Amino acid sequence: MQLTGAEIVIECLKEQGVDTVFGYPGGAILNVYDALYQHQNEIRHILTSHEQGASHAADGYARATGKVGVCLATSGPGATNLVTGIATAYMDSIPIVAITCNVGVPLLGKDSFQEIDISGITMPITKHNFIVKDVEQLADTIRKAFVIAKKGRPGPVLIDIPKDVTSNQAEYEKKEISAVCPLEDLCEEDVETALGLIREAKRPYIFVGGGAVLSNASEELYEFVKKVDAPVCDSLMGKGAFPGTDPLYTGMLGMHGTKTSNYGVSECDLLIVVGARFSDRVTGNAKKFAEHAKILQFDVDVAEMNKNVLITEGVVGDIRVILRRLNERLEQLDHTEWIQKISEYKEKYPLTYHPDLLTGPGAVEEIYRQTHGDALIVTEVGQNQMWAAQYYKFTKPRTLLTSGGLGTMGYGLGASIGAKTARPEKTVVNIAGDGCFRMNMNEIATAARYQIPVIQVVLNNHVLGMVRQWQDLFYGKRYSATVLNDSVDFVKLAEAMGAAGMRATTPEEFREAFAKALTADGPVVIDCQIDSDEKVWPMVAPGEAISKAFDEEDLEAGKKQ
């Protein structure tokens, strides 16, 4: 049947099973929005307050479900406002499809009103992108975009469609979409080499990254850990792939990782890396990272092998397939003595905070208690992000949604709207600092408009907390442009935008406020007043080995390396 390009866009989204899109209309994309109006009972559209909010919402939807998130924007500034969200998804390998519309084909390249080369701008931060100048190519391009977003290492794809293409007509025929399956092929020699290294190890350590989450490999990972009989640490992106309540779990690795994980990895003789890319925030000084160990890396992307850290051996493939293959051949191993040593580290170096005051860690632990560890936790970036990673015990994948690679302040509120839309049965909490909340707090109005009951917890220390922490420790307490001690009232702001607002200054007040928020039928903002000098501990100084992690007690004792 003959359809316009705009109608083809909607039909192709329906083919892909898309039930929700996030976006903001404008002149160039009007035809698509007009077609969407005719299908509003099939595809829900969430009008965000800003296009960046739409891209983060699509990202949050994707992280919470494993499906492809979709966002829409018009030409020019509408398209460029998606860039930060696209880059966020790219750095964390999140599958989203961003659909933008541009000026008509005859006007391209002529500096027309609201014209921008968005495909050129996003080329370095997309897995692939397209500009569709022929309506005959539109349907197949959209289908191809969804396959590319999901296949192998996931990532964002952008489709730019000139306005006249959305009004031109072409023959459309519905196509059934086959599932994108992981590649089963592995190099047999690499698998055998991996098995040999695992069997020979006396002090193995398993380091889990986001790839284990993206490949849905939690069950296979759990079996693998138990067979190897090794302690487990994770990256920020790997949270929940292995249960944070298991006795073998030792916490996060890296700059704000636990001393147990940092010391253990520094002393192991085999580091098994499951879907992690050796970020600088994990390795510290890369030349001193796990320097006594052989490194065995599992990753779907061959480009990650030997990129940041030289490895001993690697297996390239889907994480779930690799672990399943190893589990089939690996006998039960026993490393009782090594695990006992790591357990002693856990007892000696627990995470601690001041319990009598309202603090970031205390608030996170209270959130954990009241949600019974079963919420979707979204974070912003900085101290709030690290406290959430340290003190909330993630037991399932896709329950921590956070900007890991790009570190995007302002990510969390849009992402929490996307997550709650995708998983309405789950409690969704966005943990933010006041600096991050200011970035995109206009999305509270979005949540209020649709009565999306997200809980926004603002750890309000009236400073840019993590930057100030660095200034305090490494810049002689010169607090340049990091003090936010002004008259902004987040409770009044929340109420002005249609949400409920509460303030907490003590642990008891926060406990009561959060309990009320859990029963609310709309968005809630809780303004938590915490101390400006509160810090994230432990910490590794820039350029140091992770074995040099220090905490508040070390600092007071003059032991900081």
This prediction's pTM: 0.97
Residues 232 and 114 reside in one and the same domain: no
Our answer to whether residue 115 is catalytic in this structure is no
Q: Where in the sequence is the domain holding 149, given as residue range(s)?
A: 2-171
What φ, ψ does residue 413 adopt, rounded to 5°?
Answer: -70, -45
What pLDDT sits at residue 183?
77
- Pairing, β 270-274 against β 204-208: parallel
* Domain end position, chosen among 300, 322, 348: 348
**Is-catalytic flag, 151?**
no
Specify burial of residue 332 (Cβ count, 10 A radius: 0-12, 13-18, 19+): exposed
**Which amino acid type is present at position 200?**
E
What integer pLDDT is reported at residue 167 of this predicted model? 98
Catalytic-residue membership of 15: no
Total domains in the fold of the chain: 3
| Residue 556 lies inside a defined structural domain of this protein | no
In CATH, what number is assigned to the domain containing residue 226? 3.40.50.1220
- Evaluate whether residue 12 is within a structural domain: yes
Same domain, 222 and 155: no
Catalytic residue from among 15, 114, 133, 294: 114
In terms of domains, do 250 and 105 share one? no
Compute the 3-state secondary structure of the chain and give helix, strand, coil in percent, each to the nearest 5: 40, 20, 40
The answer to the question of residue 181 being in a domain is: no
Per-residue pLDDT of the chain (561 residues; tens, 9 = 90+): 999 999 999 999 999 999 999 999 999 999 999 999 999 999 999 999 999 999 999 999 999 999 999 999 999 999 999 999 999 999 999 999 999 999 999 999 999 999 999 999 999 999 999 999 999 999 999 999 999 999 999 999 999 999 999 999 999 999 988 778 877 899 999 999 999 999 999 999 999 999 999 999 999 999 999 999 999 999 999 999 999 999 999 999 999 999 999 999 999 999 999 999 999 999 999 999 999 999 999 999 999 999 999 999 999 999 999 999 999 999 999 999 999 999 999 999 999 999 999 999 999 999 999 999 999 999 999 999 999 999 999 999 999 999 999 999 999 999 999 999 999 999 999 999 999 999 999 999 999 999 999 999 999 999 999 999 999 999 999 999 999 989 999 999 999 999 999 999 999 999 999 999 999 999 999 999 999 999 999 999 999 999 999 999 999 887 544
- Residue 328 makes CB contacts below 8 A (sequence gap 6+) with none
328 catalytically annotated: no
Q: Are residues 387 and 417 in the same domain?
A: yes
Q: Is residue 549 part of a domain?
A: no
Active-site pick, 91, 255, 466, 502: 466
Q: Do 365 and 326 reside in the same domain of the chain?
A: no
Task: Tell me, yes or no, whether 353 lies in a domain.
Answer: no
Give yes or no: 114 in active site: yes
> What CATH number does residue 164 fall under?
3.40.50.970
Is residue 550 in a domain?
no
pLDDT at 221: 98
- Find out whether 429 and 375 touch, Cβ atoms under 8 Å: yes
Cα separation, 230 vs 182, whole angstroms? 27
Residue of 11, 16, 22, 51 with catalytic role: 51
Residues 68 and 112 in one domain: yes
C-alpha 435/C-alpha 433 separation (Å) is 5
| In a shared domain, residues 6 and 112 | yes
Are residue 222 and residue 364 in the same domain, yes or no? no
Residues 416, 460 share a domain: yes
**Residue at 385 is within a domain:** yes
CA distance linking residue 119 with residue 193, whole number of Å: 42
State whether 331 and 384 are in the same domain. no
